[in-house]
Structure 1
């Protein structure tokens, strides 16, 4: 004779779904507390879980009512196939957790006991639950100079504060909040001042939150710990080289020689000239210089001929370094174009 799941839950066969749940709840609470002290309680607890797993499912319960445990666990032929054999997963704690939503059905109650909600007593003596107001968020725009050096930003707020000991009346007062700015602080960082919102007898003051935002800069864009700037150069500078003068965020002037040919996508990376790295201060990121090359709108015929000869010579030499040959030819053409009166006098040698 198979297991009687109704007998395990101590309920009649015509029990409703609600009665099945009540029976499981009572037995589960009774036997779970004994699991550590009584090994036999573990077996009973597993049978209780299996009984609830079967009877709480309408299809399994119908098969059990008609064919018993043997038919349920062996499978039953149906008109349109076969009802699959049932096997309990063997984890009564999982069934328990699925039923209660937690391994401890008293978790919410214990949390309330450990962290009781704040209550406010009204004038008539009744008490009501005090809820915390939603946080008040303000954007805090910082210049790159402020982010670079850090410091303290003073922010003025106005809020309602209590004016009497009974905490029943309020008035608007001004307060200065000192917002700490660490060098290299990242955008979207939230700096929180707890309970600095309006005071109210029935609610907990809101937190005041400042969200860091980068203020646009004339020359730089911050990308993480790096600074990016774009420099416009002529085609001549892109081919022959140039020097980029940069006024840094900390008011220095640096000159960066560009000796490479500036091709599309070329970037010059200057190490340790970016923003301070928050987690590794005083280390800094890099300065990344991008280029925008402006092309001449018109080339004289003589210039075109010089470039044509340069490319031709490169081909004759087997595709050597074209820009070097062109640079030499352009330089030679410039020398030939100098007015004789402007030429340097010949070097006088003393023998």
Structure 2
């Protein structure tokens, strides 16, 4: 009867690959011949390394499970071709070095010195425990939530211990309460230490929520400023208009535009933006950009009127004097009013 490699590593036959690695790590450190300095330790150590070499390879393990050590080392017929006999290379320290990256019998101490994330545990358990990598979730916030701040509750599912020995876990739900400061910037990381899965072999991961702005129908955000686009006609662009804005904090403000609106023109309304995180309650600005709708058709008379207006503007001192054009357009509008709709003379 051949050697039971599962018995050598002291693991059950239905163990996982991780179980095999953990068992080999503990036994290889315990029976390292350079640490024990005993002749029989070399034989035991070689057997441990051979058992790991067999069980850590899926094909070798499958053959061993079905045919035992004798079938593994004799060779067996496979589904496609004959599976060649297995022979251990015989260099136990090579297997040890491939696993630990060193031949030192104190590899566990080197791990601890090189990676402070490991924590020392009991001699009979894991020698060192590494922290799981952080778990990152997006946290989408509306501009309304960013403006006022408050509390955000997020539901997570995590493995938690269900017995005092901390050997069994179960998936349970937990609600995390996240404080939102007014004006919080996109990309802010909100950390909840060790709220990840509880695991006997690793320290739970940190859970991190990363804020991002949810798209808004009216506004977009640039640092502490709010940006919006307002549609105007060509007439409004030349003659002026009033922009009505429904603000995030449920107010209505009216912004008069008396300048000529040209491509690239923007109106800045101070202190109507988002709260400044580090200087609350100061706020950024509201920046209004414009989209000008041009008429698809313009009668010849209107073109002539505009032509005269621009000529007068040139005579008046240059292209930037649009007041003459405004007056001509206004006069033309007055003349087009029906006689019966005109106001009686005062």
TM-score class, shorter: 0.5 to 0.7
Q: Pairwise mapping of residues 57-76 of structure 1 onto structure 2 (< 5 A)?
A: none
Q: Distance in 2 between matches of 1:161 and 1:120?
A: 20
Runs of 4+ in structure 1 deviating by more than 4 angstroms, as ranges, are none
Structure 1 residue 329, shift from structure 2 partner:
1.1
Q: Which residue of 2 aligns with 1:301?
A: 300
Q: SS of the counterpart of 1:275? A: coil
Q: Which residue of 2 aligns with 1:227?
A: 226
Q: Distance in 2 between matches of 1:213 and 1:280?
A: 21
Q: Which residue of 1 aligns with 2:282?
A: 283
Q: Distance in 2 between matches of 1:317 and 1:225?
A: 42
CA contact (8 A) 1:227 1:274 kept: yes
Q: Which residue of 2 aligns with 1:146?
A: 145
Unaligned runs of at least 5 residues, structure 2: 1-108
Structure 1 residue 224, shift from structure 2 partner:
0.4
Structure 1 residue 121, shift from structure 2 partner:
4.3
Q: Which residue of 1 aligns with 2:161?
A: 162
Q: Which residue of 1 aligns with 2:329?
A: 330
Q: Pairwise mapping of residues 171-210 of structure 1 onto structure 2 (< 5 A)?
A: 171-210=170-209
Q: Which residue of 2 aligns with 1:118?
A: 119
**Residue-by-residue CA offset, 1:18-77 (whole Å, 9 max, x unaligned):** xxxxxxxxxxxxxxxxxxxxxxxxxxxxxxxxxxxxxxxxxxxxxxxxxxxxxxxxxxxx
Q: SS of the counterpart of 1:309? A: helix
Unaligned runs of at least 5 residues, structure 1: 1-107
Q: Distance in 1 between matches of 2:280 and 2:240?
A: 35
CA contact (8 A) 1:241 1:260 kept: yes
Q: SS of the counterpart of 1:178? A: strand
Normalising by structure 2, report the TM-score.
0.65
**Residue-by-residue CA offset, 1:182-228 (whole Å, 9 max, x unaligned):** 00111000001000000010000000100001000001111000011
Name the CA shift for 1:185/1:317 in 2 (closer, same or farther; >3 Å).
closer
Q: Pairwise mapping of residues 74-85 of structure 1 onto structure 2 (< 5 A)?
A: none
Structure 1 residue 319, shift from structure 2 partner:
2.9
CA contact (8 A) 2:137 2:208 kept: yes
Q: Pairwise mapping of residues 26-41 of structure 1 onto structure 2 (< 5 A)?
A: none
Q: Distance in 2 between matches of 1:126 and 1:336?
A: 97
Q: SS of the counterpart of 1:284? A: coil
Q: Distance in 2 between matches of 1:188 and 1:132?
A: 24
Name the CA shift for 1:119/1:340 in 2 (closer, same or farther; >3 Å).
same
Structure 1 residue 320, shift from structure 2 partner:
7.0
Normalising by structure 1, report the TM-score.
0.64
Q: SS of the counterpart of 1:256? A: strand
Q: Which residue of 2 aligns with 1:34?
A: none
Q: How many residues align?
A: 236
Q: Distance in 1 between matches of 2:239 and 2:295?
A: 15
Aligned-pair Cα RMSD in Å: 2.0
Q: Distance in 1 between matches of 2:295 and 2:335?
A: 22
